[in-house]
């Protein structure tokens, strides 16, 4: 099984301006995402994963009808680009996304799917107090149900935030109760791969007791990287590529 993983576009096209952090090249994202999609479509893969921060939606724009209309137009632009892919797409939202707009355009893409003998599950989580990510409500129930499903195919979990390792020095990128989540993933015996974004520096693929964790670097920053994973007889390898 071959998986392409991209994260943190921070795209703005219809939305005016760009991200506050200059290195995040929001206005270059439509062309660069389109280039990746064309590259992936030509090379082939079984699954395309986009793990959050599709947009750089301005926080002050929540409730502003004009900005929300621009944000939805940007999401529709991403939808049109992704529609060119010949493989399934799994997508979750991030902390710079407008949850209502992402759910309106992409809710179907976070639903569990079966791909090449694996069950791929997306989790839409949010930041809690002090910006620390938390898993609550329907997302927590989905997590527990997946781990308790004795008849499940091997699972791949997709979320925006970092499950493991802890990366909280500059900003709280890692879930509250992350160590407990890690232990639950390992002890379940069902999970093979855990994919995250959010932490733009990235964490290369590593393995703990048969569970692989990977945090892809932010695509919005040069050299605009994405990750490609190969699963072969339960073993997982990876490489980082760029547009």
Q: How many domains does the chain have?
A: 1
Q: What's the predicted TM-score (pTM) here?
A: 0.97
pLDDT value at residue 155: 98
pLDDT value at residue 243: 87
Provide φ and ψ at 95, rounded to 5°: -75, -15
SS3 sequence, the chain? CEEEEECCCCECCCCCCCCCCCCCCHHHHHHHHHHHHHHHHHHCCCEEEEECCCECCCHHHCCCHHHHHHHHHHHHHHHHHHCCCCCCEEEECCCCCCHHHHHHHHHHHHCCEEECCEEEEEECCEECHHHCEECCHHHHHHHHHHHHCCCCCCEEEEECCECCCCCCCCCCCECCCHHHHHHHHHHHCCEEEEEECCCCCCEEEEEECCEEEEECCCCCCCCCEEEEEEEECCEEEEEEEEC
Which segment of 41-45, 77-81, 152-156 scores lowest on mean pLDDT? 41-45
The partner residues of 236 in beta bridges, in order of sequence, read 231
What mean pLDDT comes out for the span 16-22?
Answer: 94
What mean pLDDT comes out for the span 175-195?
Answer: 97
- Report the alpha-carbon distance of residue 216 to residue 198 in Å, rounded: 8
Tokens 């949850």 correspond to: 99
ω into residue 50 within 30 of 0, thus cis? no
pLDDT value at residue 218: 98
The partner residues of 156 in beta bridges, in order of sequence, read 120, 193
What mean pLDDT comes out for the span 136-151?
Answer: 97
Q: What CATH number is given to the structural domain containing 65?
A: 3.60.21.10
* Model confidence band, residue 60 (pLDDT cutoffs 50, 70, 90): confident
Q: What are 222-240's pLDDT values in tens digits?
A: 999 999 999 999 899 999 9
Tokens 């409500």 correspond to: 137
Tokens of 241: 């590529």
Residues spanned by the domain of 211: 2-242
What mean pLDDT comes out for the span 183-188?
Answer: 98
pLDDT value at residue 59: 86
pLDDT value at residue 23: 97
* Model confidence band, residue 17 (pLDDT cutoffs 50, 70, 90): very high
Mean pLDDT of the chain: 97
């Amino acid at each position: 099984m071959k998986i392409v993983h991209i994260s943190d576009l921070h795209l703005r096209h219809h939305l005016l301006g760009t991200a506050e952090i200059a290195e995040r090249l929001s206005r270059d994202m439509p062309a660069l995402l389109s280039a990746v999609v064309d590259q992936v479509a030509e090379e082939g893969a079984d699954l395309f994963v986009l793990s959050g921060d599709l947009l750089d939606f301005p926080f002050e724009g929540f409730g502003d009808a004009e900005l929300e209309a621009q944000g939805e137009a940007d999401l529709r632009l991403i939808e049109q680009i992704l529609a060119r892919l010949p493989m399934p797409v799994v997508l979750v939202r991030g902390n710079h996304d407008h949850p209502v707009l992402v759910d309106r355009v992409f809710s179907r893409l976070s639903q569990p799917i079966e791909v090449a003998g694996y069950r791929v599950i997306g989790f839409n989580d949010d930041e809690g107090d002090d910006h620390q990510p938390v898993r609550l409500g329907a997302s927590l129930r989905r997590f527990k149900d997946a781990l308790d499903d004795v008849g499940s195919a091997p699972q791949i979990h997709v979320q925006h935030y970092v499950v493991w390792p802890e990366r909280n020095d500059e900003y709280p990128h890692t879930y509250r109760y992350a160590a407990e989540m890690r232990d639950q993933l390992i002890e379940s015996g069902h999970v093979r791969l855990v994919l995250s974004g959010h932490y733009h520096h990235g964490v290369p693929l590593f393995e703990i007791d048969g569970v692989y964790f990977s945090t892809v670097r932010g695509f919005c920053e040069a050299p605009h990287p994405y990750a490609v994973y190969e699963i072969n007889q339960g073993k997982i390898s990876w490489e980082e590529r760029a547009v």
